[in-house]
Amino acid sequence: MESPYNDQAEQSHVFQTQRPVFRHVHSKTQNEIFSPLSILDEKGQPHNFGWSRHPGFFYDPFLVAAPRYKITESDRYIVQSPTHLIVLEIRDAGWLGCMCISVISLRDKKRSSHTFKTFIPMGSFDLPTSSTSGSVRWRKKKAHLDFVCMDGGVRIIQVDIPYFGRHRSLRGTIVLMEPPSHHSLNTNQPWRNEKTAFRYSHCSPWYSAEGVIQFGGTEIIFTRGNGWGILDWNRGARPKADIRYWASACGMIEGRQISFCVGYSRADFSKGTENGFFVDGKLHKLDQVTFHIPLNDWLSPWRFTSNDNRLEMSFTPHQERIERRRLFFHNTTLRQVCGFFSGRAILDDGEIIEFQNLTGFAERSKMRL
């Protein structure tokens, strides 16, 4: 079995958040950042590590000290209706770029994925340096995918792919709207033994979604109160190897919007973890979260627990997909499981929130240069 800490097999079925680093770390030691800061110093080296409730970090890929082929930039949206979950991503990983879309049926165990690859994009996708402004437009022959960021926090996803597989097309528009007085979870993390490596991430798991996607003969409808969107936005310079675990979900429980994002990798999280629970868009920050993954069957039930005892939940997988991307020495494998989360969380004021069957996903991404 693979471990997130090294390439040797562990004897435990528990994948834990940076166990050697965090054994005595508690949430009060995390560095919350309150004012805008640059994530790079005057020499292009990453600094100002920590987390923030607002996307106030400043990033410019032209200032990064690492070589351009090591810079990874990605915009990914996960949108869900009562019947489907759709993953849309545009990624520039230096040597290899891609546009990936997966359509997953929640009523039966069917899914369809398509990946368009671009060799050596090296910044040609022109992904924005801010997670709150700018647009992304991907084109290849007659296919296109647009992520448009409008004033007032509204985001528009437009997709038109005439040939998505099995003689089906995929086309439509989804409008994402943010809740009032919201927070997001923004982190800037280094690697201990690689001075130029860092990950600047932004997660907003609370969008309401409206629109229609036509997938072949199926009409996927997103309506307010039944359609949700998650933004997973990442910029950084890659280390030589990494294993990242991440999970997120969103939905309504007793008239309140509930969402979360939890995860870890080989990065140094001592200044701030990627773990947060949201109620009506407000962030309740968590410390470490442990993924308890079945040893031999990822489609068996999982458990998630936190070291501060503020989050405990189960995950019932529905189906799994595996995606591999390879070019030269660049090798990435994504193993993603979608399903339903149930459990409870303790908010900052001590209130206990219980939730059942939130739709979401959990994944492991392995990367090696």
| pTM of this structure | 0.91
Give the pLDDT score at 12: 30
Give mean pLDDT, residues 48-56. 95
> Residue 245, SS3?
strand
Question: Which value, in Å, is the radius of gyration of the alpha carbons in the chain?
Answer: 19
CA angle centred on 285, ends 201 and 102, rounded to 5° = 45
Mind listing the pLDDT tens digit for each residue in 199-243?
999 999 999 999 999 999 999 999 999 999 999 999 999 999 999
Q: Please report, for the chain, the start and end positions of each structural domain, with discontinuous segments joined by +.
A: 14-368
Which of 27-31, 69-73, 161-165, 342-346 is least confident? 27-31
Average model confidence (pLDDT) across the chain? 90
- Residue 193 zone, left/alpha/beta (φ > 0; ψ -120 to 50; rest): alpha
Distances (CA, A) of 353 to 18, 127, 132, 167, 301: 27, 37, 29, 45, 21
The pLDDT score that the predictor gives to residue 326 is 78
User: Which long-range contacts (C-beta less than 8 Å, at least 24 apart) are formed by 132-135?
Assistant: 132/55
Query: Token pair 């993603």 is at which residue?
Result: 336
What is the rounded CA–CA span in Å between residue 173 and residue 187? 30
